[in-house]
Amino acid sequence: MTRPTSRDVAGAAGVSQATVSLVLGDKWQGRVSERTAGLVRDAAARLGYRPNLAARNLRLGSTRTALLVVPALTNEFFARVYTGAARVAAEHGFGVVLYPSPEGTGPARDPFASARAALDGVIASSMAAGALDALGRDGLPLVMLDSDPSAGAAAAHVNLAMADGMRQITEHLLGHGHRRFLHLASAVDSWTFDVRADALNALLRPHATLRTVRSPLTADGARTAALAALSAPGDRPTALVCDDDILAAGACKAARRLGLRVPEDLSVTGFDDLALATAVDPELTTVRLPAEQVGEQGMTALLTVLDGGAWTAPDIPVRLVVRDSTGPAPVR
């Protein structure tokens, strides 16, 4: 069956193609009567006509496409960010192209012949910031997710209340009597992990002792780092605060290897509330990060900037989810 054209709609409505373009492009007010606009819409609906968005966008100098740059799609958090961004984009006739830049492999030189020609804007996680220089994005609006708000390169920032997440963790553990803490910190150099570390240091001192060990962002790396830290001479920590649920899962493996019970001998907390948090035993106490909301706000911020507006929004709230991996500090 032949797809109906704007000429078909014009013939059915008894108007010119220019009038069809004005009405279906929502630019008819003051130029076409209400009655004529109604005739055009009725004819388009009756014929099942859909405008050629590709041709329209070329005329307008816009492809209505945003690029979402993330570290890797294997991480559930960033998959959820994409889901949120794509949902808002679809509501506004936009598409979202994913550009994963896994650590250690690096990005391609340029996923498009010309980024400016193919994109209207870029949304990027701070953990994938190194990929931006390879995209040829000069002149494109940039929205940064989970990044330093004082950085001037971005047109807008969307952040989570990471420091408040650490506050909720420390209050929970201090309330259970813990005074010896180990921070299993991500070795990834990123603003978001720096914020977590700074907040934990500020919140615990002088109430408790804190030692920090850095680990690759993998369960095996975390297991190795936690084994060494928990086996070190001196008083063993009673609470292990991890930058990520993946690190927490590795830490729980290390505890079992050493014969320590979680949470009777060692309380363990994570960050993110991935599906992994309820797959391990015991289930993880962790900070829930609303990843889909991050994607939604990121796309909304980009649309605001593209419309010439200024984006301002408070940090997205996070929430501690208490499960079985934390409990009272062991009695010496």
Per-residue model confidence (pLDDT) at position 57: 47
Give the residue extent of every domain in the chain: 6-51, 62-160+292-317, 162-288
Q: Higher model confidence: residue 46 or residue 228?
A: 228
**175 φ, ψ to 5°?**
-65, -25
Same fold flag, 6-51 and 162-288: no
**Rounded Cα–Cα distance for residues 127 and 228 (Å):** 27
Q: How confident is the model at residue 106 (pLDDT cuts 50, 70, 90)?
A: very low
CATH number, domain 162-288: 3.40.50.2300
- pLDDT level of residue 105 (50, 70, 90 thresholds): very low
Q: What's the Rg (C-alpha) of the chain?
A: 26
User: Is 330 a residue whose pLDDT tops 80?
Assistant: yes
Q: How confident is the model at residue 133 (pLDDT cuts 50, 70, 90)?
A: low
Flag the least confident range among 121-125, 181-185, 218-222, 250-254: 121-125
Indicate if the pLDDT at residue 228 is higher than 70. yes
What pLDDT does 284 receive? 98
Mean per-residue pLDDT for 213-242?
96
- Within 188-329, strands assigned E span 209-215, 239-242, 267-272, 285-288, 319-321
3-state SS class at 283: coil
pLDDT at 171: 97
Average pLDDT over residues 253-282: 96
> Can you give the pLDDT at residue 123?
93
- In the numeric block, the tokens 């050629």 are attached to 52
> pLDDT category, 114, cuts 50, 70, 90?
very low
Average pLDDT over residues 244-255: 97
Which tokens hold the place of 23? 């009405």
- The pLDDT value recorded for residue 50 is 65
Structure tokens at 17: 């193609």
Cis check for the bond before 111: say yes or no (omega within 30 of 0). Answer: no
Window from 14-28, 94-108, 223-237, 310-324 with minimum mean pLDDT: 94-108
Q: In whole angstroms, what is the distance from residue 284 CA to residue 219 CA?
A: 14
Of 186, 190, 212, the closest CA to residue 201 belongs to: 212
Confidence of residue 47 (pLDDT cuts 50, 70, 90): confident
Strands of the chain, DSSP E: 65-70, 95-100, 121-125, 142-145, 156-158, 180-186, 209-215, 239-242, 267-272, 285-288, 319-321
- For 62-160+292-317, CATH gives 3.40.50.2300
Averaged over 192-201, what is the pLDDT?
96
Q: Report the topology of domain 6-51.
A: 434 Repressor (Amino-terminal Domain) (1.10.260)
User: Residue by residue, what is the 3-state secondary structure of 47-58?
Assistant: HCCCCCHHHHHH
Question: What is the dihedral angle through the alpha carbons of 129, 315, 140, 126, rounded to the nearest 10 degrees?
Answer: 0
pLDDT confidence tier of residue 109, bands split at 50, 70 and 90: very low
Q: How far out from the chain centre does Cα 212 lie?
A: 26
Query: Which residues on neighbouring strands pair with residue 98, listed in sequence order?
Result: 68
Whether residue 313 has pLDDT greater than 80: yes
Looking at residue 138, what is its pLDDT?
A: 57
pLDDT at res. 280: 94
- Evaluate whether 229 touches 242 at the Cβ level (below 8 Å): no
